[in-house]
Chains A and B, each alone.
Chain A
Amino acid sequence: MTTLAGVAGAPLATVNRRLVAGGTFILFGLIDIVLGYFAHKGDATFALSLPTASVHVPSIHAPAAVICYVLGAASVALGTWRATVDPSRRVRRLSIAVVLLFFVISLLLWADAGSTIPINLVNLLQNTLTGSIPLILGALAGCVCERSGVINIAIEGQLLLGAFTAAVVASVSSLWLGLISGSLSGGLIGFLLAVFAIKYFADQIILGVVLNVLALGLTNYLYDSILVNHQNLNAGNTFSVVKIPVLGDIPVIGPIFFNSNIFLYLTYAAIIVVQIGLFSTRWGLRVRAVGEHPTAADTVGIRVLGTRYSNVIMGGLLAGIGGAYLTVGSVGTFSPDMSSGLGYIALAAMIFGRWTPLGATAAALLFGFTEALGNILGSINVPIPTYILAMFPYVATIFAVAGLGGRVRAPAADGQPYIKA
């Protein structure tokens, strides 16, 4: 269908996309209006500072129903406009973001209408960011790895082993050594992936799944046979919060972005380094050449296999940091299967972000946000059952991938072993 629609059926496909996108926008607008109908219970309150904050920012009181109606009408209008014209890519994406934002605002207004408990926006965004740390690092690991042409499904295993090693090492030595060893153990899985994929030509998707099974089995086994009987090896030390001097004092923004532990700052650094590295340096150009057309890269003298080895291992080191976050950056103690599928979600974020670091980060944040939103809505007694709320991020991802994301294209040589002729 890719080829057919791309060549012969292009106009038809555009019309279809226009109608589908417009229809979806209108649907969201109608939902906003329905939410408004059920929000005639009073004002909604949004708090903009944490209870512990020194400088108190006044909360916002908003007439819930009216705003829902306005946002819904705006979405419907946007949908009608979208169904008739075919704007540029940038505008298309912007319009999707606007409609989703309107929907989220309506949802929050409806949820808090007439309630005495305010929704704390700072808390919501803080949870979004910290919850996204392992996802962002995992997705970046995937980008680094797959841009060089090796599929990395083993992110889940890298997170899990990283979490385990970090917890154990931090218990017997220092937190920093825990972080470093967590990263190294992620790198170890990366190394296994590299050797089997590059040297022994094993099928990379299979390999990733198997490495995940191995990491799960190994950590479960070591937990049951050692950690259960030796609690001192799973002591639960965590990094403390470091507030960045000036930036951390800015109201609203400070507590969200600049008042967390080292992992959030490492994540910022990783996003910047990977984005600039892959798209603005000679190294990145070479990596992408190896991932798209290894033969051509080889012809001009780029070391294909060497690049792949180093990238797969670097990806592992990154994902290992994300794993370390799960223990020494968050809850402290290791528990079996504690990554619980985050690596697979990071993988989805990477694909949804079209193999670009910024796209993957945005997708990971979207996921983190829906998760945090679900938790907040659950805590203010919204009349939606907890389990249905918990489905929200996953259903949203399916809709995003199917409806709004469209077709994605991986690096051309992703998953294919390079055999020098």
Chain B
Amino acid sequence: MTPIQLVFLFVAFATLWAAFMVVTRNNLVHAALFLVIALFGVAVLFVMLEAGFLAVIQVLVYIGAIAILMIFAVMLTRGDVDDIPDITNRYAGWVGLVAVLFFSSLVILMAQWPSFTALAKPILSSRDTIVELGTALVSPNGYVIPFEVASVMLLAALIGALVVARPRKGK
């Protein structure tokens, strides 16, 4: 058991615990705060996978913007329907069973795969993955189409969400 493995296990259990709290808390503000813990755990995992840029983005976008948007939406939709006694629908027991079965079958299936226990080869320290990512995102042989489509998608999301969320005139 090396220190890095201990760190991984701690982060993994914290993430799973927080994720479990997200789906079981009745108070949605608490659920959103547990979501922040889970997202931060994933950011730490990105660091351990040597994807530092994605870790920073995870904190910046998920925790800094998406979680905040969630909390605002919770605040906006709080009314007398809040704190409903049963937070899950009537299929919750079956769904939980299916989720456990799905998890175990995933693990069993993956265990058959020869690369399942592969170890990481060290990445050369001379490599700059951010420059590589930037080059790949705009190179015609790489991801330029997804790059430009992403901007159109974000434009559509911005306009669509503004149209839907803003109150109609005269109301």
Whether A associates with B in a native complex is: no
